[in-house]
Structure 1
Amino acid sequence: MVSVKSTEIQKTFGKWLDKTHEGPVEVTKYDRPAAYLISALQYEELISNYRKVITAGQLTDREVSLLKSARVTTDRPFNLDDLPDEDVPSDERHQMRA
């Protein structure tokens, strides 16, 4: 990734704007990352993949019904112990799910 000082961005913004078509541009201030300049296409990709987190209480009755009726079809069995909870020791995780 290309990195440029914020003072340089101010002087030659058009040049750096064109560089965003090659990839993100890291803008630094006092030798630390301060911002990232990205192309419109990259921004649209980020936004299209953005997911908002909501609590279970915010789900509609229809959404809850859809979740209850959902089925996972796989040849490989799984269980919740396969999912790591980094902050919870495995013995406590098992008790929480029992």
Structure 2
Amino acid sequence: MREVPTTEFTRNFGRYREIVQREPVAVMSHGRPTGYFVSAVEYEDLQRYKNLAQRTFATQDLKHEEIDAIASGRMSSEHDHLNALLDVK
């Protein structure tokens, strides 16, 4: 990832608009990133991943009934060899 000072980024925005198609650009101020300039494709990917993450949950928040339902779940009989792996010995 390329790092560029804020003033350089501002002065040469057109140049970085082209560079960002190949790699993200960290816009720096006083040695710290103040933001990241990414391509539209990368931004859309990040938004998609963010939306996927919002659909997750912590297993500690599951109710006992949900845990039991997951634990007792089995695949169809054509996958009995895999079901056997789930059986506690």
TM-score for the superposition, normalised by structure 1: 0.55
RMSD: 3.2
Q: Which structure has the greater CA radius of gyration? A: 2
Paired with 1:14 and 1:39, the residues of 2 have a C-alpha distance of: 13
Counterpart of 2:39? 39
Question: C-alpha offsets along residues 22-48 of structure 1, whole Å, 9 cap, x if unaligned?
Answer: 111011001111110000000011111
Judging by fraction of residues, say which structure has more helix. 2
Flag the 1:77–1:67 CA change in 2: closer, same or farther, 3 A: closer
3-state DSSP of counterpart to 1:33: strand
3-state DSSP of counterpart to 2:22: coil
Paired with 1:22 and 1:72, the residues of 2 have a C-alpha distance of: 45
Counterpart of 1:17? 17
- Structure 1 gaps, min length 5: 57-65, 79-98
- Give the paired residue count: 70
TM-score for the superposition, normalised by structure 2: 0.60
